[in-house]
């Protein structure tokens, strides 16, 4: 028979380690008759999944009397104890695979290779009926369906059994550990119920030896009458896929928002809101969960990013007076100040040795900026201002960590370090970098980011195995998040921590932008 789907979420039961989570079942089971491939103790199934140990309790005076150690006096009192007297090794499902063999061109004996045949005979493919894969044929008229040629080595069928016992358990974490065409580490000799089908197992349970581990694996093969057989190997697991997380903040996009993988069960991409003008895929918000877990509020009205109006950039999150920030309005004893009373200085790492004091740190026109050594943004203890802006009129290449220093005594909000990066190109982060800090406004050079073109306004996290933590916010025309970090604790590959610094202490000239973003009542 063909497989029908039982939704996984219908099987979830929190706080328990004993539940099967779901599988593809077969609607019809055919009597095997004298099939020599039918599994038995002498012909065991190979490949066991969801292996576990079942504790068997009995009364100490007669272990044939079952009991529950959690129930007082379950053995009748008189200090008769309920004891653990046996541990059975079991697997919830097992698989075994069978493949088509050929036949010798003249003698028609079974073969796999030419050398299996006598003389100069060759090993050729066979044909069987589409409605009866065991029946060899030469013409469609011999079958209820069609006569189809079978390549040597093509999958013929999968035997699947459930409630297996008498298992040899080598590894409790075995789930498609080897290629699904082969035997697996574990094997069972007895299965109480057997289905003969080209079927597919979906393996998802809490392992009894490690209750903190969640499993969700597709193993084996499935069959569809339109596309034929399809295989899943190795395991597809919800604990081994990188994802991004925004803590204390929302995610906005003018167009689509796409993530290759959804976060694992119980984890979220954003705290509050995920909103896009297009389609949202594989995103979950902790505050607005919906049943299908595919993101929230799809196909909303378009959210415009900062539109370049020449001297200013304007968007739904506020206005950014770019020209006003970088243009000298007043000269004070050889020092340049803009109209917001911020000193304009040329970029130099020594500017970070003291509090930023509201400065606009500007690199040369049409020049990329490389951060090749660690930067630490320090707090202000002298009562001036610890916020500032770095303006990059090109690409920003971050090759080392950028962090906020551990604050000392903070008496006023203006003492909280808060750095805004305004980039008229791309932000590219080296895969070795693990921490960057600040609010990143990635405006780009006006190029098309849907292609994308270089310098168009991309935030590129780098394709590496380290976790990236962004302490602050990122506003960009396009995100390219390529980190592959994952752990059994299911930490995000890219973690965006909205710490509220821009709202608490916005740099001069960006007060409008700071007020438009969400506000917080805890922390900074």
> What's the pLDDT tens digit per position in 414-426?
889 999 999 999 9
Token pair listed for 411: 């008496």
Q: Cis ω on the peptide bond leading into residue 442 (within 30° of 0)?
A: no
The pLDDT value given to residue 523: 32
Can you give the pLDDT at residue 364?
A: 77
Question: By percentage, how much of the chain surpasses pLDDT 90?
Answer: 28
SS3 annotation, 311-356: CCEEECCEEECHHHHHCCCEEECCEEECCCCCEEEECCHHHHHCCC
- Report residue 104 as tokens: 């010798």
Average pLDDT, the chain: 75
Q: What is the mean predicted confidence (pLDDT) over 368-392? A: 90
Q: Taking the C-alpha atoms of 200, 175, 259 and 431 in order, what is their torsion angle to the nearest 10 degrees?
A: -150
- Residue 308 burial (10 A CB sphere; 0-12, 13-18, 19+): middle
Report how far residue 218's alpha carbon sits from residue 221's, in angstroms, rounded to the nearest whole number: 9
pLDDT at 187: 75
Helix (H, G, I), strand (E, B) or coil at 413: helix
Tell me if residue 161 falls in helix, strand or coil: strand
* Whether 53 contacts 211, CB under 8 Å: no
| Site of tokens 């960057």 | 436
Confidence label for 208 from pLDDT (cuts 50, 70 and 90)? very low
Question: What pLDDT does 519 receive?
Answer: 37
Residue for token pair 């796409």: 258
The contacts found for 456-459 with CB under 8 angstroms, 24 or more apart, are: 456/426, 457/305, 457/423, 457/425, 457/426, 458/426, 458/427, 458/428, 459/426, 459/427
- What is the mean pLDDT of the segment spanning 60-89? 87
Whether residue 200 is predicted with pLDDT greater than 70 in this model: the reply is: no
Summarize the confidence of residues 233-256 as an average pLDDT.
65
Residues ≥6 apart with Cβ < 8 Å to 120: none
Share of the chain above pLDDT 70, in %: 68
Q: Which one is predicted more confidently, 111 or 95?
A: 111
Query: Which residue did the predictor score with more confidence, 220 or 414?
Result: 414
pLDDT at position 293 over 90:
no
**Structure tokens of 16?**
């328990």
Which pTM was predicted? 0.54
pLDDT of residue 88: 84
Residue 221, classed as helix, strand or coil, is strand
Radius of gyration of the chain (CA): 32
Mean per-residue pLDDT, 126-145: 87
**Residue-level pLDDT at 217:** 54
Averaged pLDDT, 155-175: 71
pLDDT at 27 over 50: no
Per-residue model confidence (pLDDT) at position 341: 93
Report whether pLDDT(129) > 50.
Answer: yes
425 burial class (0-12, 13-18, 19+ CB within 10 angstroms)?
A: buried
Residue 230: the pLDDT is: 60
Residue 184 has pLDDT above 70, yes or no: no
pLDDT at 9: 26
- Across 70-79, 101-110, 482-491, 505-514, which has the greatest mean pLDDT? 101-110
- Per DSSP, the residues of 168-185 read E-S-TT-SS-S-TTS--S
d(CA 81, CA 59): 6
At 156 the pLDDT is: 75
pLDDT over threshold 50, residue 237 = no
Per-range mean pLDDT, top range of 230-244, 285-299, 330-344:
330-344
Are the C-beta atoms of 164 and 92 separated by less than 8 Å?
Answer: yes
Q: Which residue has the higher pLDDT, 252 or 379?
A: 379
| 3-class DSSP state of 223 | strand
DSSP at 270: B
Of 122-136, 195-209, 273-287, give the lowest mean pLDDT range: 195-209
Q: Above 80 in pLDDT, residue 505?
A: yes
- Tokens at residue 503, please? 């709202």
Q: Which tokens is 140 given?
A: 């469609």
What does the pLDDT read at residue 36?
Answer: 62
**Residue 130 pLDDT:** 82
* CA–CA dist 53, 175 (Å, integer): 16
Least confident of 1-15, 276-290, 296-310: 1-15
Closest CA to 220 of 232, 208, 209, 228: 232
In terms of DSSP bridges, do strands 244-247 and 210-214 run parallel, antiparallel, or are they unpaired?
unpaired
Q: Using CA atoms, how far apart are residues 67 and 60, in angstroms rounded to an integer?
A: 10
Q: Residue 261: left if φ>0, alpha if ψ -120 to 50, beta else—which one?
A: beta
The gap between the terminal CA atoms of the chain, to the nearest Å, is 60
Q: Is the pLDDT of residue 238 over 50?
A: no
CA distance 244 to 260: 10
H-assigned helices in 343-446: none
DSSP, collapsed to helix, strand or coil, labels residue 513 as: helix
Contact predicate 47/174, CB 8 Å: no
Residue 11: its pLDDT value, please?
24
Return the number of other C-beta atoms located less than 10 Å from residue 266's C-beta. 11
The helix/strand/coil state of 479 is strand
| pLDDT classification of 241: cutoffs 50, 70, 90 | low
């Amino acid at each position: 028979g063909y497989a029908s789907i039982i939704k996984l979420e219908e099987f979830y039961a929190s706080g328990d380690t004993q539940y099967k989570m779901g599988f593809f079942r077969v609607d019809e089971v055919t009597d095997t008759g004298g099939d020599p491939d039918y599994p038995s103790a002498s012909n065991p199934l190979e490949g066991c999944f969801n292996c576990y140990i079942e504790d068997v309790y009995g009364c100490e005076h007669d272990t044939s009397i079952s009991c529950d150690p959690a129930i007082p006096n379950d053995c009748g009192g008189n200090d008769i104890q309920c004891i653990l007297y046996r541990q059975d090794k079991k697997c919830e499902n097992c698989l075994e695979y069978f493949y088509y063999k050929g036949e010798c061109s003249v003698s028609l004996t079974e073969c796999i290779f030419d050398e299996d045949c006598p003389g100069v005979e060759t090993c050729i493919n066979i044909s069987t009926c589409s409605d009866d894969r065991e029946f060899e044929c030469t013409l469609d008229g011999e079958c209820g369906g069609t006569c189809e040629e079978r390549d040597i080595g093509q999958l013929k069928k999968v035997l699947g059994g459930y409630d297996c016992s008498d298992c040899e358990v080598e590894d409790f974490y075995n789930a498609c550990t080897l290629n699904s065409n082969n035997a697996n580490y574990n094997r069972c000799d007895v299965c109480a119920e057997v289905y003969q089908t080209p079927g597919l197992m979906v393996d998802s349970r809490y392992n009894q030896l490690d209750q903190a581990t969640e499993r969700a694996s597709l193993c084996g093969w499935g069959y569809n009458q339109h596309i034929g057989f399809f295989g899943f190997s190795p395991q597809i697991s919800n604990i081994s896929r990188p994802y991004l997380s925004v803590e204390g903040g929302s995610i906005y996009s003018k167009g689509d928002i796409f993530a290759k993988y959804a976060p694992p069960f119980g984890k979220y991409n954003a705290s509050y809101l995920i909103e896009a003008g297009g389609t949202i895929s594989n995103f979950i918000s902790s505050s607005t969960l919906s049943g299908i877990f595919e993101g929230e509020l799809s196909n909303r009205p378009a959210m415009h990013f900062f539109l370049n109006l020449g001297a200013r950039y304007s968007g739904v999150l506020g206005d950014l007076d770019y020209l006003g920030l970088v243009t000298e309005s007043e000269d004070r004893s050889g020092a340049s100040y803009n109209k917001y009373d911020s000193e304009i200085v040329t970029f130099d790492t020594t500017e970070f040795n003291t509090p930023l004091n509201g400065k606009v740190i500007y690199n040369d026109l049409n020049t990329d900026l490389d951060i090749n050594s660690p930067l630490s943004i320090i707090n202000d203890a002298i009562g001036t201002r610890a916020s500032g802006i770095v303006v990059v009129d090109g690409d920003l290449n971050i090759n080392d960590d950028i962090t906020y220093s551990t604050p000392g005594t903070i008496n006023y909000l203006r003492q909280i370090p808060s750095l805004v990066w305004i980039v008229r190109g791309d932000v590219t982060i080296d895969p070795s970098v693990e921490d960057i800090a600040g609010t990143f406004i990635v405006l780009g050079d006006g190029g098309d980011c849907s292609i994308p073109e270089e310098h168009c306004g991309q935030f590129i996290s780098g394709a590496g195995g380290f976790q990236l933590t962004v302490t602050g916010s990122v506003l960009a025309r396009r995100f390219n998040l390529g980190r592959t970090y994952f752990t059994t604790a299911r930490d995000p590959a890219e973690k965006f921590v909205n710490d509220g610094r821009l709202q608490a202490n916005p740099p001069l000239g960006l007060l409008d932008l700071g007020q438009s973003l969400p506000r917080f009542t805890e922390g900074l």
